[in-house]
Chain A
Amino acid sequence: MVDLVKPKRKKQTKQARGVSRRTALSGLGGAAALGILPGFTRYAQAQSSAPIKIGFQVHRTGIGAAYGRWYDRTTKAAAKLINESGGINGRPVEIVTEDDGTDPKRGAEVVEKFATQHGADVAFGTLFSHVVIGSAPRAGELKIPYFVVSEGHHVASGMLNRYTLQPCITDVKSQVQSMAPWVASNLGKKVTMIYPDFAFGHDHRDYFSAAMAAQGGEVIGKIAVPPTESSYFKYFPKIPRGTEVLYHVMVGPGVLTFVKEMGEFFGDQRPEIFGFIDSLEAVSINSPGLEFLEGSYFWEANPRYAQAASTKFDAFYRAKVGVDASGASIDDPKDISTYSHMFGCWETLHFIKQGMESAGYRGPGDRAKLIEAVEDIAAMAESQAHPQGAKIFNGKTHQVFGHQYISQVGDGKLNVVHKTAIEDGFYKDEVDYTSQPL
């Protein structure tokens, strides 16, 4: 469970270290700057009005490019809004964008570039777990706060470090755990899972199996599909008889083929179908071949189609990021957004703003203070800053918890049928990052 009452703790101080090459050079450089510049006070004043630089690591190329395009638009819209309302601590926000190529090696280089070349105050962004995991060690070594919008369980698992946080998008463990009670109660207790045979799919398999068992249900079939697969016919006969619910979480360009072939296999005699919207992010639900999904259910983090119950905050957010009521770009109805993920960028920028203002952040020297300040943020109310909904941040595990949505496909739309409570996604802490030195 998440501790809502924060225990008081001793402020961590920088570890005592010997004089390194960098320390010596920066010391000499600092001394030189003090000697040359016409008064240190003037320098400090100039610094105080300089922009806050936020390094934005984005999938512009590679397999994550469809997500990256919308992450980019959302980030720019959020930065514009923050600047229009006075910036952060009265300073404008400047987004410095670098393409990580959806590649972990380049991701690490990009984080290094933010910290050492662009002089960014913090790094933020990116979705794919392997890029986050490849980049996080460098963020920790460079002591630059790294706010990720990735959905993986890697942050809360304790694998990463104190400088890496996931403050505004829930992780897969929390998501599937929240889904299981509704699936068991409404669709059936005997589930067969079809998932990609890589870490993301394995997380679904393991966490959903455990969550279903806790509901008195059972995963009777686990069908892993290799990432290189392009046809799925041979996997459907492996679905055990007695399957009441088929759980699918296929991602990548093969998803349309997957759904089409699944429809041809089952015809009218299909079990209940429950999927994760990750399969169809940036894809129209009305695409040819997806007719078979009519009546099936999807997890959504943020409902793509505006609902009767949608808040004014969601309407405001849609308008600002340029998305219409059906989740498509206002400028191009064929350009479908990644609505269940991109809100994380909007909210994370606002979270950074809240943290910096709480810490009285002035520059990179205050990065440790910033980490401590954001670790102390516990609750986020539903608002313009958090249009997806209220959230609870666990400062120990650096992971946020929030509402999840279950939607049913009907009349070519996704209609919300269930909203989970934040508490449904809570699980036992697996790490306490606050015990690590800053």
Chain B
Amino acid sequence: MRSLRVNKAVTLHLGAIGVLFALQFVLPDYHHVNLARVMVLAGFAMAYNISFGYTGLLSLGHAMFFAAGLYAAGLMARFAGVGAEGGLILGVIAGLAMAVAVGLLALRTTGVSFMIVTLMFAQAAFLTIFYFGEYTRGDEGFIIPSGLRTLFGFSLVEPATRYLVALSLFALCVAVSHGIARSSVGRVLAAIRENEERTRMLGYNVFLYKLAALAISGAMSGAAGAAYGFLFGYVGATFASIQYSIFPLLWVLMGGAATVLGPFAGTLLMFYLVDISSAYTSANMLIVGLALIGLILFFPKGILGTIRERAAPWLP
């Protein structure tokens, strides 16, 4: 029975990646590039899902991990001429290092205190970008020269390459999420989320598991940040603002916390909600807000979370 569930989950994820691969050949240009953007940001949302969805760590500061990757890659490109190959690795390392450093301090708190502490750390990171404005150009940001935006000789400016790189990152994030969700580590993380005290009583080092979850989440966020910089050519402090800490939370809530593909569904839905509603009204965030209220009323566990609850319990 368990292997059947696993097979179904693997089939679903491979199918989703296959559909996304096929879509590049039929999508009009606008949706083609934006699906690439959504896939990168979904990587960020999946990273958030590992700490929030699976482990129950409600962070309000994940923008700092995304920005760590974005700036590590961007600054090294700007000042040292490092290309995407090195930039992506640096992005992962920066996200990981920042998550471990923040986690060592912030994980001494729980619940609301954890939210506040992560929010404060993120604000400090945001202001640090301004403080070093001579190098970062603060709020204005800077551009990664198109000559450096290549990966193994392929130009990331080309739409097809950009799409495939975004899809690869997305597939990697799906694999990591799936792996964690199905592993014994994932079950311990879920146990921490459901009852931290009981998990500790069972002999698990809860702090270490939470730190590991945050570190993986930070590394994935950093990878998404670095990829965003190289794929779209811009590095700016906006991506370190509170707004970009709230977005992954919303994407995960919309799509379904603790589901592998939920963060992607939420990111996609949110993008098109803003895109379509802004064509009709400047109050587009009101429409997004109403959609969120509707989702909470009718899909309290997010889209995939509710589907899992009502129709497909095997859904990972």
Contacts and interface: CB of A to CB of B under 8 A. Distances in A.
Interface string A188-227: 0000000001111010000000000000000000000011
Contacts of A101: 278
A99 B284 contact: yes
B140 A198 contact: yes
Nearest to B238: A104
Contact of A197 (B133, B143, B236): B133
A226 B127 contact: yes
Nearest to A58: B282
Contact of A134 (B28, B131, B236, B278): B236
B232 A199 contact: no
Interface in B191-242: 232-234, 236-239
A413 interface: no
Interface stretch (A136-144, A304-312, A379-387): A136-144
Contacts of B234: 104, 108, 133-134, 137
Given A108-B234, A109-B37, A117 B140 contact: no
16 contacts: A21-B24, A61-B282, A98-B278, A109-B34, A109-B275, A116-B33, A133-B143, A133-B234, A137-B143, A159-B143, A161-B146, A198-B130, A198-B133, A198-B138, A200-B139, A202-B138
A112 B27 CA distance: 14
Q: Which of B24, B140, B232, B239 has the most CB of A within 10 A?
A: B140
A154 B137 CA distance: 11
A134 B29 contact: no
A113 B272 CA distance: 12
Contact of B285 (A61, A108, A133, A152): A61
Contacts of A134: 141, 234, 236, 238
B174 to A, nearest CB: 23
Contacts of A108: 232, 234
Given A113-B30, A133-B143, A199-B139, 10 more contacts: A20-B159, A22-B159, A98-B279, A112-B33, A137-B146, A152-B140, A160-B143, A197-B131, A200-B140, A202-B133
B79 interface: no
B291 interface: no
Contact of B159 (A21, A60, A160, A227): A21
A158 B147 CA distance: 15
How many residues of A sit at the interface, in one of the four size bands?
A: 35 or more
B138 A136 contact: no
Contacts of B278: 98-99, 101
Interface in A384-434: none
How many residues of B sit at the interface, in one of the four size bands?
A: 35 or more
A78 B227 CA distance: 40
B29 A116 contact: yes
A99 B276 CA distance: 11
Interface in B153-169: 157-160
Given A130-B141, A152-B140, A200-B140, A137 B29 contact: no
B25 interface: yes
Nearest to B277: A99
Q: Which of B28, B130, B237 has the most CB of A within 10 A?
A: B130
Nearest to A109: B34
B142 interface: yes
Given A21-B160, A61-B285, A112 B143 contact: no
A199 B235 CA distance: 14
Interface string A166-200: 00000000000000000000000000000001111
